Structure 1
């Protein structure tokens, strides 16, 4: 990992200009671990979606229970753009550290709702309302976290290693997937089904809430990479500048994000619920699929970052996208022909490998196009809007398409459709490999 920071980073954060390798590694670790802990709180919902459907939507059929539970998962993404605007602007005005601390505690508040929320049997329709409230708070927090943390990662980098530094954002999300699946597997193997329904499903949310103070402590000693900028008369707000001057980057970024996030949520998260709710495999089988996907993303994230630094963003994402488009229908067809745990794990691995290269490269590309003064706001809006529709509701849309078409290959069709639109945006974007920012 290099210690030479680019000129703009040195100007914004003089204390980081001559940082030693060990110190820089600690800063990257602090951002990565904190981000992973926050995403753990947000992501664990998906591993228990089938159980939550039974507890909070008991009057529906099993398939409709899953749909309603996944729709509630998607609700958390609806407010991501709002969280991105509010907290992203705060990060561009007051600094990245302050924003990231705020998002951690907002996430803890959202998780607390799941720890204490009564079920439908206890309070009726108020129960799913509380579920939605918890998801809204969590979604608002994550919407601001990504812009601030990814901006800080890139601002520690130079023109030749931004892909590598940005890859730690995806590493941290994979870390949350791996941790969530491990917690889920531990619970499903140690508790009976009745115990999981009675109280076991609350344990991951309690763990997530308890880990937030650890994330706050880890991030305490980060060096700020963006000085506080109090509002001045005649100076446009970060939001006004993004919407007024950078509309093209905004649109292209949203479309690129849509392609990356649809792939990510289908391969890393949806296979758990697809295996359980559609293919009728055990919950542990679905959790093992998430474990494999999370482990592969952690192993390959830095490789993908180095690849796009060496060979260029557009070349790497295009090759990975072609591999994905060629393989996704055959692997889904192979899985559905004779569903079992072994095939589910193979499919998780095959889908995750190109997805990692797509996701890491896309995060790098959408972060590079905004200048430092509005980077957190611009990235948060792009990520929030792209993920809120095409990622947050990917599981719901895929499941709904299965019901409408009667085809278990429908999730593959969804990814293909969004990916083709996303590739147009990639071709229209500027190649930023080796280009100094600002």
Structure 2
């Protein structure tokens, strides 16, 4: 399957091949994000094993620091795997990235604790997270590029939205595994060894995904891969305007995404005072609703355009972030918490449903993977990866509400960037490729 066939009028067999390709690519995407998010959701239980001193906020701050450090590897992963995908094919890059994630999860699953090997334990935890950060930094760009190229013309918003269906599905599966363990094991057992189980599950699932990705068709032509500028920073520099635009709206989009997904479970426990099991149940329901929203919002973008979707995201995020976080800080009812988080995630869906596609539509095929991966990784590493750390640091400093305004300001920036850009669904490279 090539760039040219990706937009030709499809027959029934071609449609089936494309759907299978979306499923195959999505399965790996789900596993990648399951492995990455298990760390965040299990942090409440393994934090004392690696950072034994201090109060709960201090321990979570330390684990959030390691979580953020994993994001710092994303730009490296975005560059490395983007270059690999543009010069050697999308499938090769996606297979290597999921294999690396498998290794990182396996290391964390068997890692000795602070009590067993002292300060070496958190150091090794950091190394494993850096390895995973490198992997997931490459996964986003290559999978977003692949899914945008294989999607049916005129329905790219709908089909490409399944990248976030599986990304959120990875979060949801990680949370579901934790919920099952919370029901089956005591709090002491979870802290002693139960937190390791999800990392083992993730490592095994990655091997299954590796097998599925072997059968995917390639979407970039040999001629395109041989171009001198393919996968190079020099080639990407020719499209620096698109690069900076993506960094701009990724900053706000990633920050609010991580605020209302990975950090929200800790927020409900550490700020609202909700029991950990109750918070997990709330987030399970909210993430499921969020996952279902993605194709709906993606299909909407096919009708109204990517730029309008981004402007709606920025408008509602600026209006809603502060009141929603204030309300969640004092929420006592699990049902009310579910409704508030779901409303927030509906706002975020304007962005996430088209996140990968809108980036892919802004770059030509020879630098598409590196353009999508590197620009996303830079904005995501600086703002998305630091979300939990900044929130917890401001909470510890007694200025937690400042975080609400910080998220609002970055979403406003995304709105300004979106207002200034041309609609890639109308004028982008994928739209006009022959």
TM-score bin, normalised by smaller chain: over 0.9
1:192-248 deviation line (CA, Å, top 9, x unaligned):
11100111000000000010111112222211101346987x923522234420111
Find the partner of 1:59 among 53, 60, 68: 53
Q: 1:339 to 1:315 in 2, by over 3 A?
A: same
TM superposition shift of 1:333: 2.2
Does residue 417 of structure 2 align to residue 422 of structure 1? no
Q: 1:118 to 1:229 in 2, by over 3 A?
A: farther
TM superposition shift of 1:25: 1.6
TM superposition shift of 1:22: 2.7
TM superposition shift of 1:20: 3.3
What is the correspondence of 1:135-154 to structure 2 with a 5 Å cutoff?
A: 135-154=129-148
How far, CA to CA, are the matches of 2:332 and 2:89 in structure 1? 49
Q: 1:210 to 1:182 in 2, by over 3 A?
A: same
Aligned length: 430
Structure 1 contact 92–376 (Cα < 8 Å) conserved: yes
| Residue of structure 2 equivalent to 1:437 | 432
| Residue of structure 2 equivalent to 1:74 | 68
| Residue of structure 2 equivalent to 1:162 | 156
- Give TM-score, length-normalised by structure 2: 0.93
Structure 2 contact 297–350 (Cα < 8 Å) conserved: yes
Q: 1:71 to 1:340 in 2, by over 3 A?
A: farther
Task: Please say which of residues 287-296 and 31-40 is displaced more in the overlay.
Answer: 287-296
How far, CA to CA, are the matches of 1:338 and 1:105 in structure 2? 41
Find the partner of 1:225 among 214, 219, 224: 219
Structure 1 contact 115–206 (Cα < 8 Å) conserved: yes
Structure 1 contact 242–378 (Cα < 8 Å) conserved: no
1:135-181 deviation line (CA, Å, top 9, x unaligned):
01101001111111111111113542221222111111111111111
Structure 2 contact 268–328 (Cα < 8 Å) conserved: no
Structure 2 unaligned segments of length 5 or more: list them.
none
What is the correspondence of 1:5-24 to structure 2 with a 5 Å cutoff?
A: 8-10=3-5, 19-24=13-18
How far, CA to CA, are the matches of 2:315 and 2:229 in structure 1? 41
| Residue of structure 1 equivalent to 2:104 | 110
1:20-54 deviation line (CA, Å, top 9, x unaligned):
33332211111111111111001111101222221
Find the partner of 2:30 among 22, 30, 36: 36
How far, CA to CA, are the matches of 1:255 and 1:273 in structure 2? 27
- Give TM-score, length-normalised by structure 1: 0.92
| Residue of structure 2 equivalent to 1:256 | 249
What is the correspondence of 1:319-334 to structure 2 with a 5 Å cutoff?
A: 319-334=312-327
Does residue 306 of structure 2 align to residue 295 of structure 1? no
How far, CA to CA, are the matches of 1:370 and 1:338 in structure 2? 44
